[in-house]
Chains A and B, each alone.
Chain A
Amino acid sequence: DQQVKQNSPSLSVQEGRISILNCDYTNSMFDYFLWYKKYPAEGPTFLISISSIKDKNEDGRFTVFLNKSAKHLSLHIVPSQPGDSAVYFCAASDSGAGSYQLTFGKGTKLSVIP
């Protein structure tokens, strides 16, 4: 059973426009969410995170929105740049007792077209 779902395996966006990557989760115990970006042949790179006590976190061109009632989060990239082309992984963690790991979604491949 996949607890973190990224239902779009790929997304193409024109340079300068907004990219919206979506992520859904099923485990209501998740209370911290992270986005990672991965280029081919490299390890994932942390992008931005959000705690469940917030509904929005912004860092430059990247904004993450969290809707706890819908168990949904999204990453907005504005404006999109060709260098943003990569695979984006959503990850979640449960800081409750005994829980140590990040649960990753399957990733969404973003292609930004010049």
Chain B
Amino acid sequence: DTEVTQTPKHLVMGMTNKKSLKCEQHMGHRAMYWYKQKAKKPPELMFVYSYEKLSINESVPSRFSPECPNSSLLNLHLHALQPEDSALYLCASSQEAGRLIGRSEAFFGQGTRLTVV
């Protein structure tokens, strides 16, 4: 199993809604990531979990709240988003964590296309 599975594939939410994005991998990877990608731009790192602990928060607004319930699951809780938060949200995982995190390729999920109305 070399897949990173993200649900839902598409999500439309209002600015007062609370929703969650889910990500799952069963490759035994020790690092998991959330990226945000706007059209015609490269993926931008939001959060890194290393050994189930949040190790990087790239100055992401608090309306995005990550959670790592166990080594296979990663959630992104969304609350009071703005229309400019509409984007493709990508989850990724990699075998290595800690200082070796950039040494192994990341496996990406298909993403959740989020639209905030």
Residues of chain A having any CB pair with chain B under 8 Å:
32, 34, 36, 41-46, 49, 89, 93-95, 97, 99-102, 104-107
User: Given contacts A43-B92, A100-B48, are A49 and B105 in contact (CB under 8 A)?
Assistant: yes
Quick check: A42 and B110 within 8 Å, CB to CB? yes
Q: How far is the CB of B43 from chain A (nearest CB, A)?
A: 6
Q: Is B111 an interface residue (CB 8 A)?
A: yes
Size class of the B contact interface (CB-based, 8 Å): 20 to 34
How far, in angstroms, from A12 to B56 measured CA to CA in the complex? 38
- A-B contacts, 28 of them at CB < 8 A, read A32-B103, A41-B110, A42-B110, A42-B111, A43-B6, A43-B92, A43-B109, A43-B111, A45-B108, A46-B105, A46-B106, A49-B105, A89-B42, A95-B100, A95-B103, A100-B48, A100-B50, A100-B55, A100-B56, A100-B102, A101-B45, A101-B48, A101-B58, A101-B101, A102-B45, A102-B102, A104-B43, A107-B40
Identify which of B50, B99, B108 contacts A95 (C-beta below 8 A). Answer: B99
Number of A-B pairs, beta carbon distance below 8 Å = 62
A42 to B91, CA, bound (A): 11
